[in-house]
Amino acid sequence: MAPKSVCVYCGSRPGRNPAYAEAAKGFGQALAGAGWRLVYGAGDVGLMGEVARAAQSAGGETFGVIPTHLMQLEVGKTDLTRFVITETMHERKKVMLMNADAVVLLPGGAGSLDEIFEALTWRQLGLHGKPIVVLNTDGFWTPFLGLVDHVVAEGFADASLRGFLQSADTPEAAMDILRAELA
């Protein structure tokens, strides 16, 4: 059986709270410790760089996907186990999701929201059945989870939409969910 791969969506910036970088490092180390591959946006900046460097230094495999136009801005991390350059953001998202067994959302901005909403929408439409875990470090994603609850409460989505999102407060708790889901 092939090792598991986990797609991580996260910020190309570090954010204001040092706990975000610590959680990214902890999650990268935990993935490598489990023998699982990190699939991510191939940047070497912000939380993307933190999670990748942590996975690498713990001996983990890394699979990065970056569109040509972000090579300079996100400082494409070319020393990954596998490094893929795409033409568009759409291709990047598809390659990342299709090469993973699960999705984990770490703190991030508009790009991370775009990615998670696409993964969530595809799950809702039955295009994949992969677990989606929100690493809610210091409550960062609580407003996002509340928004999804609001969308359901207002009748714009079935309650199953919220059920597709599992939340964890720590990298260890996220790994526990993934182990249970991917067993």
Token pair, residue 35, equals: 């023998």
Report how far Cα 106 is from the mean position of its chain's Cα atoms: 6
Token pair, residue 89, equals: 């953001």
Give yes or no for a contact between 5 and 19, defined as CB atoms under 8 angstroms apart. Answer: no
Q: How confident is the model at residue 16 (pLDDT cuts 50, 70, 90)?
A: very high
Give yes or no for a contact between 86 and 66, defined as CB atoms under 8 angstroms apart. Answer: yes
What pTM, to 2 d.p., does this model score? 0.96
Residues 6+ positions from 34 with CB-CB distance below 8 Å: 4, 175, 179
Share of the chain above pLDDT 90, in %: 91
Report how far Cα 133 is from the mean position of its chain's Cα atoms: 8
Q: What is the pLDDT of residue 179?
A: 97
Mean pLDDT of 115-140: 97
> Which CATH code is given to the segment(s) 10-178?
3.40.50.450
Q: How confident is the model at residue 18 (pLDDT cuts 50, 70, 90)?
A: very high
pLDDT digits (tens, 9 = 90+) for 47-60: 999 999 999 999 99
Domain ranges in the chain are 10-178
Q: C-alpha distances in angstroms, 29 versus 52, 72, 84, 128?
A: 9, 26, 22, 26
- Please list the residues that pair with 82 across neighbouring strands: 63
Given CA atoms 164, 48, 53, 171 in this order, what sign does their dihedral have? negative
Mean pLDDT of 56-75: 91
Q: Please count the CA atoms within 13 angstroms of the CA of 105 that sit on its side-chain side.
A: 28
Closest CA to 135 of 12, 27, 17, 43: 27
Pick left, alpha or beta for residue 15 (phi over 0 → left; psi -120 to 50 → alpha; otherwise beta).
left
Give, in degrees to the nearest 5, the angle at Cα 68 between 65 and 71: 80
Exposed/middle/buried for 107, CB within 10 Å: 0-12, 13-18, 19+? buried
Helix, strand, coil share (%) of the chain residues, nearest 5: 50, 20, 35
